Amino acid sequence: MGTNESKQAQRTVKLGSTGPEVFPLGLGCMGMSGMYGATDDAESIRTIQTAIDRGVTLIDTGDFYGMGHNEMLVGRAISGRREKVQLSVKFGALRGPDNSWGGMDTRPAAVKNFVAYSLKRLGVEVIDIYRPARLDPAVPIEDTVGAISDLVKAGYVRHIGLSEVGVETLRRAHRVHPIADLQIEYAVSTRGPEAEIFPVLKELGISATLYGVLSRGLLSGSKPKGKGDYRAYLPRFTGANGEKNEDAVAAIQRFAQERKMTPGQLAIAWVLARQPAFVPVVGSKTVAQLEDALGALSRPLSKEDAAALESLVKVSGDRYGEEQMRHLDSERR
């Protein structure tokens, strides 16, 4: 580990005014349960354990990733290492046995049911940050956060987070119980939160964990690998958008090469340069991908290079399909 990387590794980021101190990069584990094509459990466990050995503390999962597979995988990986990690768990998304999606359920009774199963699958007694994966339009956010607050009082949860919600929901939730962080998509190709959401986070003393920093691999040149790869249904990877975005990817690759970085490192370094108080969550599925991502910590991007990259990257298409975009509270204006 180089000197600069050592300094970065020693630095921590506090999640909100009340949340934990975490390493500057988090590890997102969704891709280890089949969302982006074939996976290897042994390699996934090696990746999680290598991340912990390299100082990564925030491990992000969801109870609906692989219908419980991901939590059990994470549980195996952190066995004997629990005190070194903070577990961020999303809940509430309903799944069918055919992999279908059935909406959200964040009623208080459901919250307590979901957490009971997560604790068992993860093999832990407490979850560090617990958050609904999306806003449930049928349940007031006050009821959901109130139920998680009860779990905090009972010792099953340490901190409360949210995911992909807008400013009104943030304010309402924060009045019930302090929110540690908002998980939201953010990248050089996805800058929507800058306008309204990030200023409100600063005002309320809430942090952010940022996923999709590589735009699901688009910015590093990765493409969908067969029907089981969720990205095959996303606008940025398909049709005319997909063709246009190949030009943006080529430009990123040239920009990165000139600076002796990989495209992935460049995308992560841009986020770290623009939002140093927030934590990118990288979805590395292999040790090699993880090592590449960690390399971004020793290659900080100057303000001039960050601005140059922004002017270069013009990505076509929304981050989700039309129906999903309509249901995102964070996208309501």
Beta pairing partners, 159: 129
- Residue 241: name the closest of 322, 138, 324, 307 by CA: 322
Among candidates 178, 191, 184, 247, which has minimal Cα distance to 219?
A: 247
| Catalytic site residue from 65, 156, 186, 320 | 65
Give catalytic status of residue 65 as yes or no: yes
| Domains present along the chain, CATH in parentheses | 12-216+274-299 (3.20.20.100)
pTM of the complete model = 0.88
- Region of 37 please: left (phi>0), alpha (psi -120 to 50) or beta: left
Tens-binned pLDDT, residue by residue, of the chain (333 aa): 444 444 444 589 999 999 999 999 999 999 999 766 678 899 999 999 999 999 999 999 999 999 999 999 999 999 999 999 999 999 999 999 988 888 999 999 999 999 999 999 999 999 999 999 999 999 999 999 999 999 999 999 999 999 999 999 999 999 999 999 999 999 988 888 999 999 999 999 999 999 989 876 567 656 656 666 666 666 566 666 666 667 777 888 888 889 999 989 999 999 999 999 999 999 999 999 999 999 999 999 999 999 988 887 776 556 555 666 566 677 675
Spatial distance between the Cα atoms of 142 and 18, rounded to a whole number of angstroms: 19
